[in-house]
A = this chain, B = another copy of it.
Amino acid sequence: MNLKTLAEKLGLSQTTVSRALNGYPEVSEATRLRVQDAAVRFNYRPNSRAKGLATGRSMVVAQIVPGSSEHEMVNPIFGDFVGGATEALARFGYDMMISRVLEDDEGKIYRELHARGAVDAVILQGPSVEDPRIPLLNEIGMPYIVHGRSTGITAPYSWVDVNNKRSFRRATQFLTDLGHRRIALINGLEYMDFAQRRRSGYQEALDAAGIAADPALMCSADMTEGYGYRETRRLLHLADPPTAILSASMLAAIGIRRAIQESGLTMGRDVSVITHDDDLSYLRNGDDIPIFTATRASVRAAGAILAEQLVALISAPESGPVHHMIEAELVVGGSTGPARRRT
C-alpha cells in the first residue's frame, strides 16, 4: 500500500493525504480523520526511503562498532548502551544503524556515511585522549555526539560523559578516610580518555591525603576478569602490598575478589575494593544489597540521555555543542572497611 493507491481509494489527492497524515493545518478535521482511519485500516506506512529522499533526512543515527580487527575486544557495555540509546531514539522516530570498519581507515566510513546520506548523525564511542575522529567529523560537517570526552581536543564538540575524575577522587578519598594509604588502581587502557580521567581523580585524592603515588600499585589494560585476578595476585605478593584496590570495571572486580579469596584473605576486611559499576543488566552488583562498594553510573541511562541530546542537536545544530555530565553515585557495599594494621 503506497500513498498513491491510498489516495485513490479515498478519492483524494496524494497531497491531501500526505498533509492529513503529517498534521498540516491545510486539511479539515473531518478529512483528516477519514484519512487516518483508512491509513490504519490498510496498514499504510510511508516508505522510509521515499520519505527520506523527499525530506532530505534519513531518520537514522549510526554507531561504529569499535575494533577493526577480529581480535580486538568488543566493548562489554555495547549492548546496554545500545539498548538505552535505541529506546530513546525510537521515541523520536529515529532508527539506529551499526556500522563497522573493514579497513584501518576509520575516517573513510564517516565520510562515506555522510556522502551516501545514509545517516543524519553518528555516535562516537570510546574516545581516546586525543581522538582524531573529532576534528574529522567537524571537518565533514555531520552532526555527532561523543560518549565520553577527549582531553586533548580543543575544538568544541558535544558530549555526554560520566564525571570519572570526580567519582574516582571520591572513591579514593573514601578509602583514605578509612585509613588506607596503600591503594592500588587497576585501571582500563590508559590511552582511553575515561581511564586517564579516573587515574587523575585517584591521583588528586592521594595528593590531598598526602600519599605518594606508587607506580607499582597502578596498572592499565583491557578490563577482563583475568586481568583483575592476575594483577591482584601480583599486588598481594608485593613486599608492601596494598590494603585497598580501585577497579575500573565489575568484570575486573570479580577477578580481584577471586585473587583475594584465593590468598586466604577476606574482601572488605583484609583488603578493601571499590569498583566502577556500569550497571550492566547481565552483570549486576548484587541483587538488592550491593556486593561491591562502587561508583555507579548506568550506561543504559547514558545511552538514553545521549540519544536525546543528539536528536536535539540534529533538529537545531546551531544550538551549539551540548554537554551533559553524569554524576556517578557512590554506593557502599560489603567490599570496603577500615584499613587494618598489617600483621
Instruction: Indicate if A97 sits at the interface (CB-CB under 8 A).
Output: yes
**Chain A, 96-109, contact with B by CB distance < 8 Å: what is the 0/1 string?**
11111010000000
**Cα A280 to Cα B226 with chains together (Å):** 13
Pairwise interchain contact A86-B74, C-beta atoms closer than 8 A: no
Pairwise interchain contact B257-A74, C-beta atoms closer than 8 A: no
Pairwise interchain contact A49-B117, C-beta atoms closer than 8 A: yes
Pairwise interchain contact A44-B83, C-beta atoms closer than 8 A: no
Partner of A78, one of B72, B79, B99: B79
Contact-residue size bin, chain A (C-beta under 8 Å from the other chain):
35 or more
Partner of A284, one of B115, B224, B300: B224
Pairwise interchain contact A76-B116, C-beta atoms closer than 8 A: no
Partner of A98, one of B48, B98, B280, B281: B98
Q: Which residue of B lies closest to A291 (CB)?
A: B226
User: Within A41-98, which residues are at the interface with B (CB < 8 Å)?
Assistant: 43-50, 52-53, 58, 60, 65, 67, 70, 72-76, 78-80, 82-83, 86-87, 90-91, 95-98
Partner of A83, one of B60, B74, B254, B280: B74
Q: How far is the CB of A146 from chain B (nearest CB, A)?
A: 19
Pairwise interchain contact B97-A91, C-beta atoms closer than 8 A: no
Q: Which residue of B lies closest to A112 (CB)?
A: B45
Q: How far is the CB of A188 from chain B (nearest CB, A)?
A: 12
Instruction: Indicate if A8 sits at the interface (CB-CB under 8 A).
Output: no
Pairwise interchain contact B67-A83, C-beta atoms closer than 8 A: yes
Provide the residues of chain B in CB contact with A43, threshold 8 Å: 111, 115
Q: How far is the CB of A47 from chain B (nearest CB, A)?
A: 5
Provide the residues of chain B in CB contact with A323, threshold 8 Å: none
Instruction: Indicate if A269 sits at the interface (CB-CB under 8 A).
Output: no
**Cα A224 to Cα B98 with chains together (Å):** 26
Partner of A65, one of B47, B86, B91: B86
Q: Which residue of B lies closest to A50 (CB)?
A: B53
Known: A96-B98, A257-B258, A261-B262. 15 other contacts (CB 8 A): A43-B111, A45-B112, A47-B117, A49-B53, A65-B82, A65-B86, A65-B87, A74-B300, A75-B79, A79-B79, A87-B102, A91-B102, A223-B282, A254-B258, A258-B261
- Residues of chain A having any CB pair with chain B under 8 Å: 1, 43-50, 52-53, 58, 60, 65, 67, 70, 72-76, 78-80, 82-83, 86-87, 90-91, 95-100, 102, 111-112, 115-118, 222-226, 251, 254, 257-258, 261-262, 280-284, 286-287, 300
